[in-house]
Amino acid sequence: MDVKPGEIYGIIGRSGAGKSTLIRCVNGLEQPSTGSVLIEGTCITTMDAATLREARRHMGMIFQHFNLLQSRNVIDNIALPLEMAKAPKHEIQSRVNQLLELTELENHGKQYPSQLSGGQKQRVAIARALACSPKIMLCDEATSSLDPRSTLSILELLRNINHELGITMLLITHEMDVVKSICHHVAVIDAGEIVEQNGVIEIFTNPQAQETKELLKASSRMEVPRVIKDLLQANASRDSGTILRIAYHGASASQPIISYLIQQYHIIVNMLQGSIETIQDQIVGVMIVEIKGDRENVDKSIAFLERNGLHVEILGYVQRDP
Ligand SMILES: Nc1ncnc2c1ncn2[C@@H]1O[C@H](COP(=O)(O)OP(=O)(O)O)[C@@H](O)[C@H]1O
Ligand SMILES: [Mg+2]
């Protein structure tokens, strides 16, 4: 895996896939049995303990369960890493104030973790992670125990931090929606192996690995409807319909293309599922359709779609009454 400076790199996989283990290899808490981790060209895996501690100071970490000290108020939680780095008192104070403002916690400085909502707790954890001005931030399921609204606000905060401070982020999640909203690139991990990595738009429009397709289904609920799924066959037979997943982004608008198909190739297009959304300023459309017509025209239609920059995947064939 290669993460470019300043980007938000997502790592997605189901529970137990090895995401946390991977991130623990990056901060040196875990030693990989083979391979190495380089940060700005320096190898983490062969560092001695003192150098590693110093290197870790330049990495901020946030977790699913916030890991705040219950006995310290917000200000003292944020100050902790600065105290450990033996920063002078006045410096700590001004840095903490800066961070309270950045995370919109100005009015909560004296409160204790037990008095805060989940979203506020994660803001404290983010402020603490930023205390020593890290270049890298590692986020392990940072939004997984938050409600949808807090999730959005935390993701927005992370996006702003990345954008304004240029901090590189490695962001672990099991949800495609998180990847969709803030990641630039993403790696899909399954059973301890990276099975696919690509830009976010490519992952959504043209997924390759089976695991990626499963994760996409779980998030968008874009699946072949049950009644059709039960009839799905791997091979075409005479007058069977062809079930396609069609995806496109940006300039290739779908509507005129589909209308053209119907006219030009005398096929029937039956829309089964569809969604159009904006992912990071790009329009991304995905649909599942059934097309029927004579075999040659169906093949020509698929070739036509691909020529026009749409991604087409044949999901199977169905034989059913019109
Ligand atoms: N590359 C790997 N090779 C062997 N075992 C692994 C690997 N990655 C993870 N594991 C093991 O799989 C289990 C789950 O890993 P974990 O990183 O906690 O998954 P996740 O965070 O994705 O839920 C752990 O017991 C871990 O030791
Ligand atoms: Mg984990």
Closest Cα partner for 215 from 13, 10, 9? 13
Verify whether ligand 1 is closer than 6 Å to residue 215 (CB atom): no
* CA 140 to ligand 1: nearest atom: 21
Ligand 2 mean position, distance from CA 188 (Å): 14
* CA 33 to ligand 1: nearest atom: 3
Buried b (16+ CB within 10 A) or exposed e, 14-39: eeebbbbebbbbbbbeeeeeeeebeb
Verify whether ligand 1 is closer than 6 Å to residue 18 (CB atom): yes
Distance CA 147, CA 119 (A): 8
Q: What is the mean pLDDT of each run of 10 residues along the chain (322 residues)?
A: 96 95 93 92 90 89 95 97 94 97 96 97 97 96 94 96 96 92 96 95 92 86 82 85 90 74 90 87 89 91 91 90 64
* CA 15 to ligand 1: nearest atom: 23
Long-range CB contacts (within 8 A, 24+) of 108-115: 108/74, 109/73, 109/74, 109/75, 110/73, 110/74, 110/75, 111/73, 111/74, 112/70, 112/71, 112/72, 112/73, 112/74, 113/66, 113/68, 113/69, 113/70, 113/74, 113/77, 114/70
Which domains are seen in the chain, by residue range? 8-205 (3.40.50.300), 221-318 (3.30.70.260)
Verify whether ligand 1 is closer than 6 Å to residue 174 (CB atom): no
Classify strands 185-190 and 193-199 as parallel, antiparallel or unpaired: antiparallel
Ligand 2 mean position, distance from CA 191 (Å): 13
Ligand 2 mean position, distance from CA 176 (Å): 15
Ligand nearest to the Cα of 32, by number:
1
Ligand nearest to the Cα of 23, by number:
1
Mention every residue, 6+ apart, whose C-beta is less than 8 A from residue 217.
223
State the pLDDT at residue 253.
62
What residues have their beta carbon closer than 5 A to ion ligand 2? 20
Ligand 2 mean position, distance from CA 16 (Å): 7
